[in-house]
Structure 1
């Protein structure tokens, strides 16, 4: 946590904590239901929702972000709304139109590629379907989540270049691989964006120092909150895109606040992911309207918290995780 962020008593967090389980319209990151802990601080409701596979040390950064959003004043907004992209999971090409229909007015689409068990041909057909649906004026970016090696990434970008890619997000896993790929594909004019090399790195600035990316994809929760993320962007000196971590509308508002506070914002942001859910904790849900999201905090509806409450065993698991991550934060102070 940042030095000026106070850590409230654990009891204050647990007192209002609600654990929810929200179904997705299409499986995303291998899950069909997204679980999250919501709790209320003096600044408003906040969210803790690290992915299940993260250990307590990594997940504690997400708790620091939740505390920061719930307990600390946030940076001033520079804009009132944020343009966002549609997100197409690794679905069959025939399902693309139905996915895009969930994103009102979005002019940009991020397409998941390099899914385990799929072929490059599947990626090509999916991206082609997006281009056909969006027309020549639509913007398309792809996200491989670091799944390709350098040779695979080079081959894939060559095959996908005909679809006029805005950028390729985390095509390879390591900073060295990203730097090598960026050198190889420079002639194609496809920028390289770094995501995991920022949010999962011990040194989030290493990718910028290595000249391994043209822009950064930043997420509020994994980076410890909006204020810390802003510092990282300022030090990196690269353009930034704010993306979600498949948050509920409460957590998405944190990402929207981060995007609103950036000095420059040249890209649509990946914050429209509430459209991937079939249920949410807020009414209305923080979904794109004419391709944009309004800036502002989101409060959950008590009835929706009840309707989508996780099972008792999952609630206990999550509250235990909160307590362990709280211990990590205490030990680090």
Structure 2
């Protein structure tokens, strides 16, 4: 993983971060990529609330980029948005087809749907049934995306996308794990299904390698993993490819960071920023839930009572504080970004 650069502004002292941090644990409504409780560290910076929420399994070198993003958003003015709201897609986890109507009902007005596929323990037949249920429920004019999170081999992706293509996919997100596999698959598909790269951008030593290899038609970008809004915008400018802004199952604080990034793009596609609907609670006064298929690009305001309600257990707070300390040390050792 590439080393994280610290934010261009001076790095806040560790004591300041630890004094303001609140660690929360919010249950999910449905198991999502193995997650049933989403933990996040929330800071109160001079510019407002900001979020640090790399998944627990991520190593410190990778998580440090998420801390850089949190510091940038909380301690620096965000870039001026081009619009007040952004369109978002619905997200359907790896659920049975009978649950699709219930899931989609949580995303009112959304005409684009991202469907999780290639989940461990699920078969291609399960994926097909889920996507078919989405198409039947959402209608022929809805845009449907599938997200494999790199879960297919090249051969599996060939077979899966051949069977899914008749359902008129907008694109397939990270069907294979590696850039060479994506490049080969994209060449073979010859435009029959567009390929989007996610993990090959946000978890790569070189986030531009996928663009240079011609391995994707568009990029999925997330503000936290890429080190912040400005770093994400710089990567997109260098890549020269269309983009979809997405989330990592953030609280509304992290979602507002992603929404500001999406609002800075000149022609944004529906963003994957409606995922607060998958959580069984939130910590802001106005949760970033889709309304007529859109969410605001403004900062979210913390709800003190909700912070108390979803406060993490003391041992988890200690774990996050130690993680923040280690990541802060990594950022302090890097030159300013």
Map 1:56-205; keep pairs closer than 5 Å. Answer: 56-186=60-190, 188=192, 190-205=193-208
1: CA distance, partners of 2:8 / 2:119: 41
Name which of 282, 285, 297 aligns with 2:284.
282
- What TM-score do you get using the length of structure 2 for normalisation? 0.97
2: CA distance, partners of 1:310 / 1:275: 20
- Over 3 Å counting, the alpha-carbon distance change for 1:3 and 1:307 in structure 2 is closer
Q: How big is the alpha-carbon RMSD for the aligned residues of Structure 1 and Structure 2?
A: 0.9
- What TM-score do you get using the length of structure 1 for normalisation? 0.98
Q: 2:222 is matched with which residue?
A: 219
The DSSP-based 3-state class of the residue aligned with 1:25 is strand
Return 5+ residue gaps in structure 2 as ranges.
Answer: none
2: CA distance, partners of 1:201 / 1:146: 13
Q: Which runs of 4+ in 1 moved over 2 A?
A: 1-5
C-alpha contact (below 8 Å) 1:2/1:228 kept by paired residues: no
2: CA distance, partners of 1:326 / 1:2: 9
The DSSP-based 3-state class of the residue aligned with 2:321 is helix
Name which of 234, 240, 252 aligns with 2:237.
234
Q: 1:295 is matched with which residue?
A: 297
Q: 1:325 is matched with which residue?
A: 327
2: CA distance, partners of 1:69 / 1:3: 10
C-alpha contact (below 8 Å) 1:96/1:129 kept by paired residues: yes
- Over 3 Å counting, the alpha-carbon distance change for 1:75 and 1:275 in structure 2 is same
- Write the deviation string for residues 76-102 of structure 1: whole angstroms up to 9, x where unpaired: 111111000000001111111111111
2: CA distance, partners of 1:87 / 1:282: 21
> What is the CA distance between 1:262 and its match in structure 2?
1.4
The DSSP-based 3-state class of the residue aligned with 1:36 is strand
> What is the CA distance between 1:3 and its match in structure 2?
6.1
